[in-house]
Chains A and B, each alone.
Chain A
Amino acid sequence: MEDIKKLARELLADNKVQLVLGFENGTANRVRPAFFTTPEAVDKLIYNEFCIQNIALYLKKDICQHAASLAITANPNVVRSILQLAAENQIKEEKIKIIGITHEGKCVGLLDFKAAEEFSKTQPKGLKDEDKALIEKIQAMSLEEKFDYWVEAFSPCIKCYACRASCPMCYCGKCNVESNNPQWIPVAPHKYGNMEWHMMRAMHLAGRCINCGECNRSCPVDIPLNILSYMLSDFVLEEFESEAGLSAVFTPALSSYTMVDKENFIK
């Protein structure tokens, strides 16, 4: 942790960045994301095993958008998010200094995009075994069972949109769900609206999701949303050999095509 603090302090002291995005101690033994603007303030910066939130989310917020330059304490999920945001022209390399941190909490120093790409490729990723088992369980179900499973899984959804709010890739200024003329998705936490909302989110993230699992962690009613995105990412990788979060120069699978895409399902 000390080397992370030292880096952050130096960056601010040398005026290399205006802002450091990291974590500090919150109330009730929780950690919370924080912005540090002076070298002295960095005393409060922490990094421990609880700092798992994907703070790349804040890069699209006003405070970061308005900063001329900033640094971020980045675990592998954050690094992947940054690369994907860069691939979608949402952030420029000149503006951001990435303080790379492994899953184990070891600081690997400042990463430029090239180093970040290497880092991203070498760091372990993927679902927990229990989530993989759940995907297999669902895939083995019959059509009706699958449908009932998801209707049931989405039924506690209260449409708080925490999944959207916590997702670094959900950065649209106006979301389809807010469209009311025509209304695409009923706003009430109703079985039909819930189903369409989660389907839409899964489709919009297909080929772009970096599988940090933040949607699942932030969900107050524990809907296994990450397995939807993961299942689609897996499919996209298999079909189109395309994987998000590995490179800053990348066209998401659904924004591109090849002449030889499969069409055995088309009459």
Chain B
Amino acid sequence: MSEFEPKIVAFVCNWCTYAGADLTGTSRIKYATNVRIVRFPCTGRIDYMLLTKAFASGADGIIVSGCHPNDCHYTSGNFHARRRWMVFKKLCDFMGIDTRRIVFSWVSAAEGVKWADIVNTTVEEVRKLGPYESYHKLSTQDILA
């Protein structure tokens, strides 16, 4: 049997982390290929339901990343997002959804190295945790089960 390769979904903002990830590429920095990047206008746009959708679709880990505080293209999107993440994390912890698999980060357009580092460490951590099945199983279960 082949070794477990974690599937990571990254929800990133257009203005900082997406550009940062671009920089990682143009700087020819090698990093794990397990990540699927989804680009959003702003971290404030990243609905928590998208995170659960990712888990339901079989993601083993999630990265949510955007501009550093005070750097938001829309002034306050990341501040609103920060609060929402806190509450969402609390809810997940209470409901038994594995928040060790959700990584929140600030990566600016100049931090190509940081992006590679975040992805690599997340992949390693999720690899150690193994596949995330409990939430995915819910969505694939027979309707009458």
B122 to chain A, nearest CB (A): 9
* Total number of residue pairs linking A and B with CB closer than 8 Å: 102
A220-267 CB contacts (< 8 Å) to partner B: 228, 231-232, 235-236, 239-240, 253-259, 261-263, 265-267
State whether A146 touches B95 (Cβ < 8 A).
yes
Per-residue A-contact encoding for B22-55, CB less than 8 Å = 1, 0 else: 0000000000000000000000000011001000
CB < 8 Å neighbour of B141 from A145, A190, A236, A253 = A190
Given the complex, which residues of A lie within 8 Å of B87, measured CB to CB? 203, 206-207, 232, 235-236, 253-254
Partner of A146, one of B48, B80, B94: B94
CB nearest neighbor in A for B89: A265
Q: Interface residues of B toward A: which range?
A: 35 or more
List B89-137 residues whose CB lies under 8 Å from chain A. Answer: 89-91, 94-98, 103-106, 118, 134-135
Question: What is the interface size of chain A, counting residues whose CB is below 8 A from a CB of the partner?
Answer: 46
Partner of B95, one of A150, A184, A259: A150
Q: Is A141 at the interface (CB under 8 A from chain B)?
A: yes
Is A89 in the interface zone, CB < 8 Å from B? no
Residue from A228, A253, A263 having most chain B Cβ neighbours under 10 A = A263
A176–B83 alpha-carbon span in the complex (Å) = 21
Q: C-beta contact mask, A179-210 vs B, less than 8 Å → 1, else 0? A: 00000100010111001100110110011000
Give 18 CB contacts A-B under 8 Å: A139-B94, A141-B96, A143-B98, A146-B96, A191-B138, A196-B52, A199-B91, A228-B95, A232-B91, A235-B87, A236-B87, A240-B83, A254-B87, A257-B79, A257-B80, A257-B83, A259-B69, A261-B83
Given contacts A232-B90, A254-B80, A257-B82, 5 further A-B pairs with CB under 8 A are A148-B96, A228-B95, A235-B90, A253-B87, A266-B106
